Amino acid sequence: MRRTTSMRTGLAALLLVGAWATAVAAPASAADAPDTPRTSDAPASAGLIDAMRRDLGLTQAEARTRLAAEKAATAAEPKVRRAAGAAYGGSWFDADSGKLTVALTAGASAATLDSVRGAGATVTTVRHSARQLDAVKARIDKLAAPKGVSNWYVDAESSSVVVAVVAAKRADNDVRTFLSKARAAGPVTVEETAAAPETFAAGTVGGDPFYTGNVRCSIGFSVHGGFVTAGHCGGAGQGVSGWDRSYIGNIQGSSFPGNDYAWVNVGSGWWTVPVVLGWGTVSDRLVRGSAEAPVGSSICRSGSTTHWHCGTVLAKNETVNYSQGAVHQMTKTSVCAQPGDSGGSFISGDQAQGVTSGGWGNCSTGGETWYQPVNEILNRYGLTLHTA
C-alpha cells in the first residue's frame, strides 16, 4: 500500500484498513491514528455528537444525556429479558422518558414485575409474548414474497408482526394474497412504505474506500486480521483493493441473500485500526465493544457516499425482501443511505452495531436503512472485533 502523509483536515473519511481517504486531499497514513485524542469516559466522538445534533435535533447536552441513558438501557435489556421469562413481549428505549420499556403479557407474576421495574425499566402489558410473535414471523418467512412486499418484523409495541408493503403496490393481487396468508399465520399489522428496499452498492467512482471489481462499498468494522462489510459487495475469493486500487486482501467469507455479510482479510502493507471516522471533524477512537442497542436508541452510520448520518433503531429481526432474495435478522433504522454506503458502519455511542445492507430513499429526502448485526457476523466467522 502506498503510504502518504497529508495535512490533518477535518474532512476525515470512512475508515480504510490502514488508510483514511479524505474528500479533498490525499489520505492520512494510519501512523497518525495514535495521535487521535481519546478519553475513556467520553460517550462518543465530537463527530458523532455533531451528527446527532444535526439529524435528531438535539443539543450537545441532550445528545450526551441520551447516550448515557441508552447505555444504561443497553446494559439492562438482557437482565430484564431473563427476569421476564416466558412473559417477555419485547422491549424498546423510550427517548421521552430516557428509560427502557419492557412489554409483558398479562400473566406476568408480581415477582416478575418487581424484578423488571427494579432494573429501572418501565412496564407495559401486551397480548402476545415475544416467543409467540417470533413463531408467527417464522411462518411468514416461509412464504414467497412478491416485490410489492418490502419487509416484515416483530413489533413489540403493537404486539404483532408488522408487514410493510409499497404503497403503490398494495392493491396488487399478489400482495393481497401474501397478506392474506400472513394474517393466517397470526397477529399481523400492515403498514405502507414509500418504496422497495435496494442494496447500496455502486459503480466505480473516484475516491472510494474499497473496490471489488467495479463495485464500490464501504468498510464496516475492523476485526483482528481484517474487516467486515456487506455480503452483496462481493463473493468469497474475490480480490479487494483500496482507495488507491492497491491490493488489500480477499473476501474470505460472504453470504447474500439469506444474510448480508462478508469479511475480508488484510495484508500487503495494510493494517486495521479500531476506529470509525466522522466526516468533517477529527474522529475519536469510537469502537470499544459491540453491546446491542435496544429499539428506540439513537444510532449513526458512516459511509463513503453520504458520510455521517444519524437516526434511531426502529425494529430488529426483520426480513427484508430485496429483488435478489430475502435477507433475515436485519435491524431497521431511520438513518438515510445511498449507493456506495453498503457495508459501512452503524454505531451507537461507542458500540459497534452492524454493517449497512440497503434501504429506500436518500439523504436529501429521507428514507430507511437496514443493517446486518455485527455480532452475528463475528459469531458466524469466529472473528474478534478490534476495539480500542
Q: In which element (H, E) is residue 377 found?
A: helix 374-381
Cell of 163: 408487514
| CA–CA gap between residue 329 and residue 349 (Å, rounded) | 22
| Whether the Cβ atoms of residue 337 and residue 230 lie closer than 8 Å to each other | no
Other residues' Cβ atoms within 10 Å of the Cβ of residue 168 = 12
Strands (E), 274-365: 298-303, 307-322, 325-333, 345-348, 351-362
Q: With contact defined as beta carbons under 8 Å apart, do 337 and 345 qualify?
A: no
Which residues lie below 8 Å from residue 184, measured CB to CB, with a gap of 6+?
none
Sheet holding 28-29, edge to edge: 15-16, 19-20, 28-29
Active site (catalytic) residues? 232, 260, 342
Number of residues in the chain: 388
> What amino acid is encoded at 315 in this protein?
A
| Cα(363)–Cα(299) distance, integer angstroms | 15
H or E element that contains 161: strand 160-166
Angle at 215 between CA 214 and CA 221, to 5 degrees: 135
